[in-house]
Structure 1
Amino acid sequence: MPRRDRRFRYGPYVEGPDPLAPPFDLRSAMDEIGRDVMEGASPRSALQELLRRGAGERRGLDELTREVWQRRSRLQRDNRLDGTLQQVRELLQRAMDAERDSLGRDDSEDARFREMQLDALPSDTGGAVRELDSYDWRSADAREAYQEIRDLLGREMLDQRFAGMKQAMENATPQDVERIREMLTDLNRLLAAHAQGQDTAQQFAEFMRRHGDFFPEGPQSTDELVDLLAQRSAAAQRMLNSMTAEQRAELMELSQQAFGDPRLAEQLAQLDAQLQGLRPGEDWDGDGRFRGDNPLGMGEATRAMEELGQLDALAEQLSQSYPGARMEDIDLEALGRHLGDRARVDAQALADLQRELERDGLFTRAADGSLQLSPKALRRLGESALRDVVDRMGARRGERETRRSGAAGEVTGATRPWAFGDTEPWSVSRTMLNAQLRRAGGDPRALDVTDVEIVETEQRSRAAVALLVDTSWSMVMDGRWVPMKRTALALHQLISTRFRGDDLKLITFGPYAREVELGELIGLEGTWEKGTNLHHALILAGQHLRRQPDAQPVVLVVTDGEPTSHLEPDGSMYFDWPPSRETITATVAELDRLMAVKPAVTFFKLGEDPRLAAFIDDVARRCGGRVVAPTLDGLGAEVVSDYLRNRR
């Protein structure tokens, strides 16, 4: 706060969570989503899983839902609904004791007759209060206690349906009660006209002019008024449903004594019936079992039921399990009211995260409406995978990521506009000239990315690369699925950004082999299918390499099992286990045909299968290739290193 001498005092922020707290890390969030997608989850379910878990210090939807259910359970565990009945019983007992004490000091026959009347009262509280309606009290204290019963019942019944009415009617006069009855009469007329489809705008305005002080919420139309009242009326009905049959009957009988005017109860019953007809979608049949020791009055019990309904709605919103669910569906105001500001801030941060991920172009929608990772998201995942690979390569060889001069070719003297992924040096003179020309055209910016030109280099060599990855069920079962995908990501990222002249083909092989795009491979789900068809994969690899006779051919094979299937001449798949002689013969023959283009071949052997080791050693000697047995964590580094070695 500023002082007169213009100095300031500083202290901790106490109005809730720190507004300057760092937001979610989008890159970290994208890595988590990518990991789940590579494990077989759809992009939508991976995003939902991230929102359920939360990130960093921000709680996820699961934790917030758990707190909602804890709040709900605590509300039911600590309270019970018969508070009004208990208060009425206590007031009735006080009235009876005061009246009997007064009659006991009187020796007249009239006093004895009155005692007999009191002794003959029904045993239930509601019946006793009803019978005493016409009783002429001798004791002023007893008369006051009985009147308090009537006033209490009236206040509680109004408090069930109109906010703050209990306090407003604390010392109600007959004129106040009559004004309430008039308001209810006008309200029922308004709702009846609305139910008949009449235009009630003028009638509503007149109603609010006369009775607007009963509605501090300030509804602006008949529909808003109906929504407001229906929620509380439905909560009042759920409260009655939650009581025992005896309690319910007793309370209904007592309601006739509200303010000593049965017309009030009739008007409220008519109001409830109209609201139920106008808003049948409200929960009129639900209940909630309260089992605590704290007695709630009718108004308090209705608010407790209303809170239970709001907590149920919050739990459904937080579950995000219904069709078309969005984080924007969560009622942040209600969440903060029930769980505190920190919960509201955490939910808001999750909604902001979802919005930023979608706004950042990390997801696209397919023709069928499903969510898919965008090329931008795949680039980010590739950057992360390649960074991990480079870190491992640096740790192993004592190096970190470097940009060595001449890696992309020799300078030709020409320049060209910069494109994403270029690593060549800038042409400073051309860049500054472009900026000056743009500013001369009226653009005030000093420098723009479109101004940048880079020094053109002559490509010394290019490679045609075929990465063959095993997608048989054993890769999933033994935890090799995600490392395989991250390896493909890292190699694809390296080639697309640092060696853009190279042509990478991703080929998967299970029962059959097929060429796939990166996004398809990343989203590929593991399925239980028999067959490791390396024969078919080598056929596709040969087709890719033969299409580019001027490129250096490189073949990288990642597998954890020996071939167990091959293609027959008619295109059908043949499977046998252990591998048949025909499968081995077909695979080796295809490898021999592939050697006509003189590729550099490397086999990456995963697992400790001795039969696989023997087969790979034999074929590697036959084709002059290499065999690498990496760990799962080191697979990406080994594949990238081998690609760079072969390229050099």
Structure 2
Amino acid sequence: MAPRFTYSRWDGTQRGFDLDADLLFDQLTDELLYHGDVNAALRRMMQEGMRDADGNPLDGLRDMLDRLRQERQDRLERHDLGGVYDEISRELDDIVDEERHAIENAVRAAETSGDERRSEAARNTAAERNMRLDMMPSDLAGKVRELGSYDFESAEAQQRFEQMMDRLRDQLMQQAVDQLSDGMQNMSPQDMQRMKDMLAALNEMLEKHQRGEDPGFEQFMDEFGDFFPENPESVEELLEQMARRMAAMQAMLNSMTPEQRAQMQQLAEQLMEDMDLQWQMDQLGSNLQQMFPQMNWGQSYDFEGQDPMGMAQAMQAMADLGDLDQLEHLLQNATNPGALAEADMDRVRDLLGDDAARALERLSQLTKMLEEAGLIENKEGRLELTPRGLRAIGSNALRDLFTKLTKDHVGQHELHQHGQGHERTYQTKPYEFGDPFQLDLHRTIRNALRRAGAGTPVELQPDDFEIERTEHLTRSSTVLMLDLSMSMPMRDNFLPAKKVAMALHHLISSQFPRDYLGLVGFSETARVITAEQLPEVSWDFVYGTNMHHGFTLARQLLAKQTGAKQIIMITDGEPTAHITPHGDVYFNYPPVRETVEATLREVVRCTREQIRINTFVLDATSALTAFIERLTQINGGRAFYTTNEALGDYVLVDFLEHRRRMTRRRAG
């Protein structure tokens, strides 16, 4: 069945494909080149963020953590936790005032009845009740305890007190056992007993889990699943939910003043007067603290605002702050994009907004998008570039450099020289004396028909002949010598140099496939680098710039090649190391005569083998300039003194000019 699509008019609110693997990989190119490690580059992008297809920024973890911390600080500066205590105290005071008013009304009604005995009894009862109210303790728990045994005159006041106690009891129980359903609002004795049975079964299940035994989670959920509407799928998920809420309750107590905390704890004891229930709750809290120590049960918050919070609002605020802490912990400890998928995106959206959730969701998909696009792959737990990824990096590097060249008005770099040879250009020309007779039969016959008209036989004349154009075949063999000493990253030269290496490799492999490109990295010693290794190459944490060894390896590589041979060397330092006749590495700074002479002897060998050395010098000093002048005088190559910003311009333009000169000489 053919797929069906539905289209609607753009109204400015719909989102398109704001990020794809190619766009993402474009933004990763510099990081991949600099770090030489897919994992490190992805971690960096996670921290710094990225841009969507429209160029709009998507926050990284650094910005997200700043926003998270600011959100937490705003909440602390806005609210006053003392409102929990004050709300209950004010409501109790209102209940007492309503009771006093009812006592006065009862005395007034008795006195207006004209019955002296009734009036006297009413005054005595009023005096006794007022005395109990006057003697009521000032602390919160004391008020609750006294009113719990008080004989109310006002039925309305008594009802308000009982409702308040039920509400507070429900709120405490809700936090303790993750109870969110309406079934707990007015617990009957049977409900209370079932609650205790659930807690006892929960503690038993938790202890079995800690001992490594089968906790019987399925049986527990069959019997008590209605207590947990979030439908946890495992005992670990269930216990973590409960631990998070109990930790939030503990954080609220920790954040109170000592006086407020004592009052709330006593109030809890008053509300949870059932000793068995209290014991089960204490046992559950102890077990959860041992099982989830990372919940930071000692966490407290310094509320500095003026907006008082009630009990329910305070508990929600603590849950929000706890979730912010958990999210902060997740973001700080995420070592790869996949770890971010553990975040509850709906919760992130509630806490930090849609933009933060969208950015975090995109960050969590980085690895998956690149793997599905075939740009990276997981090899034994380590992310590595695929062959397609290697080509993409080189293509991106070359594009970036040529884009800069275009902006600098250097011009196009395509070759237009034509002549005799073996490579077809798929263009034709009229035959001239001396041309190879590679006849284009189709165009030749068309010319004859155009001249003589239709009909057979077709008679050909020399002016009808049209031959294929050919391009001269030229082969260039190049070795790129890349300085990997510590001075390169210290002076911000490493990334531009490595980008040039990747761009040059891609240019040769894609545009000049018959050419040869070898790669040699040099620092204290030199080593041959394969194309597959190039993206992962990084600088060496050693001292020394061993051009002597680098020229030796480059010369050995070019000895096996044909065509015009050249070495392109990118460096920012003098030769400070060489290989001794015994095969040891000798290093000294400033350079000693032995090192300079060993290096120049290798330059002489390259010159004898007709290898041209072109040097691109970054951050040239007078001593480095003097050495490069001696090198070029011996070899006949050229030296370019440039900056890391213009390095790519110089290298690519010089390489292409070298190819043009080769083509012209061959044509001549």
Query: What is the letter of the counterpart of residue 313 of structure 1?
Result: Q
Is 1:555 matched up with 2:572?
no
Is 1:339 matched up with 2:334?
no
- What is the DSSP-based 3-state SS (H/G/I as helix, E as strand, rest coil) of the residue aligned with 1:558? strand
Retained in 2: the 8 A contact 1:190–1:200? Answer: no
Give the counterpart of 1:526 among 539, 544, 553: 539
- What is the DSSP-based 3-state SS (H/G/I as helix, E as strand, rest coil) of the residue aligned with 1:262? coil
Which residue does the alignment assign to 2:87? 87
Deviation at 1:166, TM superposition (A): 9.4
Which residue does the alignment assign to 1:150? 165
RMSD: 3.8
The CA distance in 1 between the partners of 2:278 and 2:159, in whole Å, is 26
The CA distance in 2 between the partners of 1:366 and 1:218, in whole Å, is 37
Cα distance change, pair 505–530 in 1 and its aligned pair in 2 (3 A): same
Which residue does the alignment assign to 2:65? 65
- What is the DSSP-based 3-state SS (H/G/I as helix, E as strand, rest coil) of the residue aligned with 1:602? strand
- What is the DSSP-based 3-state SS (H/G/I as helix, E as strand, rest coil) of the residue aligned with 2:616? strand
Which residue does the alignment assign to 1:22? 18
Which residue does the alignment assign to 1:625? 637
Query: What is the letter of the counterpart of residue 241 of structure 1?
Result: N
Retained in 2: the 8 A contact 1:408–1:498? Answer: no
Which residue does the alignment assign to 1:419? none
Deviation at 1:398, TM superposition (A): 5.3
Deviation at 1:253, TM superposition (A): 2.7
Retained in 1: the 8 A contact 2:334–2:340? Answer: no
Cα distance change, pair 97–387 in 1 and its aligned pair in 2 (3 A): closer
Is 1:508 matched up with 2:508?
no
The CA distance in 1 between the partners of 2:193 and 2:308, in whole Å, is 32
Which residue does the alignment assign to 1:638? 650
Which residue does the alignment assign to 1:133? 148
Deviations 1:308-352 (A, max 9, x none): 222222222233435896232222121122223332222222233
Retained in 2: the 8 A contact 1:38–1:481? Answer: no
Deviations 1:3-61 (A, max 9, x none): xxxxx9967366xxx3325225x445334433234334643122111122222222222
Is 1:581 matched up with 2:593?
yes
Deviations 1:57-99 (A, max 9, x none): 2222222222222222233332234444323322332343444
Query: What is the letter of the counterpart of residue 359 of structure 2?
Result: D
Is 1:281 matched up with 2:304?
no
The CA distance in 2 between the partners of 1:277 and 1:138, in whole Å, is 45
Give the counterpart of 1:54 among 24, 28, 49: 49
Is 1:191 matched up with 2:202?
yes
The CA distance in 1 between the partners of 2:425 and 2:84, in whole Å, is 93
Cα distance change, pair 567–160 in 1 and its aligned pair in 2 (3 A): closer
Cα distance change, pair 286–540 in 1 and its aligned pair in 2 (3 A): same
The CA distance in 2 between the partners of 1:131 and 1:600, in whole Å, is 101
Query: What is the letter of the counterpart of residue 45 of structure 2?
Result: L
Which residue does the alignment assign to 1:535? 548
- What is the DSSP-based 3-state SS (H/G/I as helix, E as strand, rest coil) of the residue aligned with 2:291? coil
Q: TM-score, normalised by structure 1?
A: 0.79
- What is the DSSP-based 3-state SS (H/G/I as helix, E as strand, rest coil) of the residue aligned with 1:185? helix
Give the counterpart of 1:499 among 492, 512, 518: 512
Cα distance change, pair 77–179 in 1 and its aligned pair in 2 (3 A): farther
Retained in 2: the 8 A contact 1:235–1:284? Answer: no
Cα distance change, pair 140–644 in 1 and its aligned pair in 2 (3 A): closer
Which residue does the alignment assign to 2:280? 270
Retained in 1: the 8 A contact 2:33–2:498? Answer: yes
Compare 270-279 and 53-62 and name the one that shifted more.
270-279
The CA distance in 2 between the partners of 1:645 and 1:51, in whole Å, is 41
Compare 335-344 and 272-281 and name the one that shifted more.
272-281
Which residue does the alignment assign to 1:294? 307
Cα distance change, pair 352–215 in 1 and its aligned pair in 2 (3 A): closer
Is 1:205 matched up with 2:222?
yes
- What is the DSSP-based 3-state SS (H/G/I as helix, E as strand, rest coil) of the residue aligned with 1:371? strand
Which residue does the alignment assign to 2:455? none
Deviation at 1:391, TM superposition (A): 4.2
Retained in 2: the 8 A contact 1:390–1:401? Answer: no
Structure 1 gaps of 5+ residues are: 1-7, 415-426, 430-454
Cα distance change, pair 597–337 in 1 and its aligned pair in 2 (3 A): same
The CA distance in 1 between the partners of 2:173 and 2:47, in whole Å, is 41
Give the counterpart of 1:45 among 40, 45, 53: 40
The CA distance in 1 between the partners of 2:527 and 2:236, in whole Å, is 60
The CA distance in 1 between the partners of 2:234 and 2:511, in whole Å, is 64
Which residue does the alignment assign to 1:121? 136
- What is the DSSP-based 3-state SS (H/G/I as helix, E as strand, rest coil) of the residue aligned with 1:39? helix
Structure 2 gaps of 5+ residues are: 1-6, 108-118, 209-213, 427-439, 443-467, 663-668
Q: How does 1:309-348 map to 2 (within 5 A)?
A: 309-321=322-334, 326-348=339-361
Deviation at 1:386, TM superposition (A): 1.9
Retained in 2: the 8 A contact 1:408–1:499? Answer: no
Is 1:376 matched up with 2:381?
no
Deviation at 1:238, TM superposition (A): 2.9
Q: How many residues align?
A: 586
Query: What is the letter of the counterpart of residue 205 of structure 1?
Result: D
Deviations 1:174-196 (A, max 9, x none): xx533432331342343255356
Query: What is the letter of the counterpart of residue 237 of structure 1?
Result: Q
Query: What is the letter of the counterpart of residue 270 of structure 1?
Result: Q
Retained in 1: the 8 A contact 2:99–2:153? Answer: yes
The CA distance in 2 between the partners of 1:355 and 1:146, in whole Å, is 57
Q: How does 1:586-625 map to 2 (within 5 A)?
A: 586-625=598-637
Deviation at 1:403, TM superposition (A): 6.2
Which residue does the alignment assign to 2:558? 545
- What is the DSSP-based 3-state SS (H/G/I as helix, E as strand, rest coil) of the residue aligned with 1:617? helix
Is 1:12 matched up with 2:25?
no
Cα distance change, pair 470–221 in 1 and its aligned pair in 2 (3 A): closer
The CA distance in 2 between the partners of 1:279 and 1:37, in whole Å, is 43
The CA distance in 2 between the partners of 1:59 and 1:379, in whole Å, is 28
Task: Indicate the percent of aligned positions where both proteins have the same amino acid.
Answer: 31
Query: What is the letter of the counterpart of residue 508 of structure 1?
Result: G
The CA distance in 2 between the partners of 1:82 and 1:413, in whole Å, is 85
Is 1:34 matched up with 2:29?
yes
Deviation at 1:541, TM superposition (A): 1.8
Retained in 2: the 8 A contact 1:545–1:597? Answer: no
Deviations 1:361-416 (A, max 9, x none): 3334566x4434443323222112222343455566753253648699624799xx
Deviation at 1:563, TM superposition (A): 2.3
Cα distance change, pair 322–239 in 1 and its aligned pair in 2 (3 A): farther
Retained in 2: the 8 A contact 1:157–1:298? Answer: no
Compare 524-533 and 585-594 and name the one that shifted more.
524-533
Retained in 1: the 8 A contact 2:481–2:521? Answer: yes
Is 1:385 matched up with 2:400?
no
The CA distance in 1 between the partners of 2:312 and 2:319, in whole Å, is 10
Compare 191-200 and 132-141 and name the one that shifted more.
191-200
Retained in 2: the 8 A contact 1:564–1:579? Answer: yes
